[in-house]
Copies of this chain bind each other. A is one copy, B any other.
Amino acid sequence: MNPVRMDNMTWMEYEQRVKAGSVVFLPCGATEQHGPHLPLGTDALLASAICEDVAREVGGIVAPAISYGYKSQPRSGGGQHFCGTTSVEGATLSSLIRDAVREFHRHGVRRLAIVVGHFENQWFVTEGIELAMREIGEHSGMEVMRAEHWEFCRKETLDAVFPDGFPGIALEHAAVIETSMMLHYYPQLVSLDRIPGHGPAQFPVYDMYPARTAWVPSSGVLSSAKDSTSEKGRLLVADVVAGMTKAVRHEFALDEQRGGQPSL
């Protein structure tokens, strides 16, 4: 039994922890191609693992992950022409988030952190939160954080991970950051020997519809994952977990001594 997973708790255990002020974490992933070396569930798996690590730090609860995300775009996830990428309409994702936020509010949750693990989800998750918050009303006391987990990687760490210079988050799909994090959390799901050797994708600054699939490497990898290591994954994850833990404690005014209890 995993002591932070909501789906492993009885409703009575959950209720008790919610009443005590626990933060609820909702991982928002996707089912999306991640090259020949990473599994389709990468985005949901990483977001869940990170949420669990942070939840352990702050006495939080991790709700079941959103496993289907918004449509993959060529420049950030390869695009919708790949087999296996299983995406939902923007309105579907926003509705799902809206409904979940509304339900957590009904439970008495007042501290909710939605952790996005799939770049394309960000705006439809935002809309879902906005829709729920308008319904809930301004004076409910409920507060929601939305964070893309990779944003907590520090410059120092990125400099260490990319000794030749960090090429920017744009091409990091199925590349060094995600592969290293997966090596840290789920080494058995990574096939290092299948990492493609081709160089980074070259994209213009705009998008075309229908997608110009010729722009995207046929492997689905946007830049090389060759230099990924479990150690790099450990460093990156450490940043993310520490940064998110600090942010959660700060924004939700948790007393660090008491784990999950309100600080007042």
Contacts and interface: CB of A to CB of B under 8 A. Distances in A.
A57 interface: no
Interface size class of A (residues with CB under 8 A): 35 or more
Given A34-B11, A205-B151, A83 B67 contact: no
A145 B206 contact: yes
Interface in A40-63: 40-41, 44-45, 63
Contacts of A208: 143-145, 251
Contacts of A85: 11, 103
Contacts of A229: none
Contacts of A220: 11
Protomer copies: 6
Interface stretch (A88-96, A158-166, A230-238, A256-264): A88-96
Contacts of A92: 92, 95-96, 99
A135 to B, nearest CB: 9
Contact of A86 (B63, B126, B148): B63
Interface string A99-121: 11001101110000000000010
Nearest to A246: B204
Overall SS of chain A's interface: mixed
B82 A100 contact: no
B103 A86 contact: yes
Contacts of A71: 126-127, 130
Contact of A95 (B37, B89, B107, B152): B89
A172 to B, nearest CB: 15
A14 B41 CA distance: 12
A67 B67 contact: yes
Interface string A218-254: 0010000000000000000000000100010001000
Given A6-B40, A148-B206, A152-B205, 12 more contacts: A12-B36, A15-B83, A31-B63, A68-B96, A71-B126, A80-B106, A83-B107, A88-B99, A91-B94, A92-B92, A120-B123, A143-B209
Interface of A: 1, 5-12, 14-15, 18, 31, 33-41, 44-45, 63-65, 67-68, 70-71, 73, 80, 82-92, 94-96, 99-100, 103-104, 106-108, 120, 122-124, 126-127, 129-131, 133, 138, 143-148, 151-152, 188-189, 191, 194, 204-210, 220, 243, 247, 251
